[in-house]
């Protein structure tokens, strides 16, 4: 049977799929892999129509077709708290059960997560990621890829916030975080996009100064690298 991959994301991940042509990059490397992705949940009113014009697309299938369904994955843009909650649930919870149907689950937060405004917030985020890690350990027959959140652009944050973001990402990428758990993998999206200060590189910024979504150039750069990681991890299943 073909291996199935689920990528859970919001707008930045959606741009990586669409602008970076992530699905196509995966097919180049291994056409047998089924790559599905889940963005914001569908709107309650006119869900399929609005899905065409927004990131509220719910679940898209292996061909990129919007299925008209979602897994009720409720996520904020600025904290790993919700992932900690989802992966802490009983395995028969409908949302978690739907996620665990896939062989490989990649998941990420968006760029507001790296706007870490205090030491307390950093400590809280670390605790949430520890909770995520400890619960993923329960499912050794699945492979998980934690995608680090992308950096904020300089105009939208501060050097102190960026330093704390770098500290969080450094910890996530360390042996201390993974603790030799073979089913947990890290894709360092942040470091592929960040400058030495932890800001989104100028070449990867969009025209609107308050917009920290990585631009098309960034997505074209990252998509083949992420595709390779997804294929490598899928080969372990």
Q: What residues does 37 pair with on adjacent strands?
A: 7, 60
In eight-state DSSP terms, residue 114 is G
The mean pLDDT of 51-59, rounded to a whole number, is 94
The mean pLDDT of 182-193, rounded to a whole number, is 97
What are the structure tokens assigned to 139, written together? 């499912």
User: pLDDT band at residue 40, thresholds of 50, 70 and 90?
Assistant: very high
Q: What is the pLDDT of residue 173?
A: 96
Is the Cα dihedral 226, 230, 235, 237 positive or negative? Answer: positive
Total domain count for the chain?
A: 1
| CATH number for the domain harbouring residue 55 | 3.40.50.1110
In eight-state DSSP terms, residue 2 is -
What are the structure tokens assigned to 27, written together? 């097919």
Provide the domain limits for residue 65.
4-234
Question: For residue range 111-136, what is the model confidence (pLDDT) as tens digits?
Answer: 889 999 999 999 999 999 999 999 99
């Amino acid at each position: 049977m073909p291996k199935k991959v689920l990528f859970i994301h919001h707008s930045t991940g959606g741009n990586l799929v669409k602008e970076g042509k992530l699905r196509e990059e995966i097919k180049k490397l291994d056409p047998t892999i089924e790559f599905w992705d889940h963005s914001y949940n569908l709107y309650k009113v006119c869900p399929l129509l609005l899905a065409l014009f927004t990131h509220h697309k719910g679940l898209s299938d292996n061909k990129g077709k919007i299925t008209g369904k979602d897994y009720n994955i409720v996520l904020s843009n600025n904290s790993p708290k919700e992932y900690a909650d989802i992966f802490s649930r009983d395995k028969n919870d409908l949302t978690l059960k739907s996620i665990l149907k896939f062989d490989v689950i990649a998941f990420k937060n968006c760029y507001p997560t790296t706007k870490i405004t205090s030491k307390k917030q950093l400590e809280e985020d670390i605790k949430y990621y520890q909770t995520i890690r400890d619960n993923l350990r329960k499912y050794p027959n699945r492979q998980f890829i934690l995608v680090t959140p992308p950096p904020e652009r300089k105009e939208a944050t501060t050097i102190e916030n960026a330093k704390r973001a770098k500290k969080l990402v450094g910890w996530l990428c360390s042996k201390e975080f993974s603790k030799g758990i073979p089913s947990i993998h890290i894709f360092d999206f942040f470091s592929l996009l960040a400058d030495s200060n932890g800001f989104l590189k100028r070449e990867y910024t969009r025209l609107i100064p308050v917009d920290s979504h990585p631009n098309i150039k960034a997505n074209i750069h990252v998509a083949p690298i992420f595709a390779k990681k997804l294929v490598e991890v899928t080969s372990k299943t």
